Amino acid sequence: MGISGWFKLGGRSIFSWAFTFQRLTGIVLLIYLCMHLTYLTTLLDKTGETYESMIALTVSKEFLIFDILLVLCGVFHGVNGFRIILHEFGLAYEYHKALLALAVVIALAAWLYASYIMYSLTGG
């Protein structure tokens, strides 16, 4: 089963979907890390013009949606990863459904709060 199998709709549990989203958010975060490192290397010029233009782009309201989605990926990946670690160590496995629900609620609450803060800091 390849990557296309991650999106098979029939016969999958909610835990399988959580693991699929764990993989996808991990890929998104890896791509972001590569882009971020590339971005940082462009700031090495001595004039500061590149730095100023890149900062102006990344703090714009148009770029805010990417930041908000990145925070969602990071928060979900972290909270769900902690849940998976608990299960790997055999802790609280009898509460696996409740832990998944709690992880989703925590991730959504943290993401909404962070999105509100980010939006308000951009003058929204």
How would CATH label the architecture of 15-121?
Up-down Bundle (1.20)
Chain segment 21-50, per-residue pLDDT in tens: 999 999 999 999 998 888 777 777 667 777
Confidence of residue 62 (pLDDT cuts 50, 70, 90): confident
| Domain edges within the chain | 15-121
Which contacts qualify for 108-113: CB closer than 8 Å, 24 or more apart? 110/75, 110/79, 111/68, 111/71, 111/72, 111/75, 111/76
Global confidence as pTM: 0.80
- Where residue 12 falls (left for φ over 0; alpha for ψ -120 to 50; beta otherwise) is beta
Q: What is the pLDDT of residue 1?
A: 58
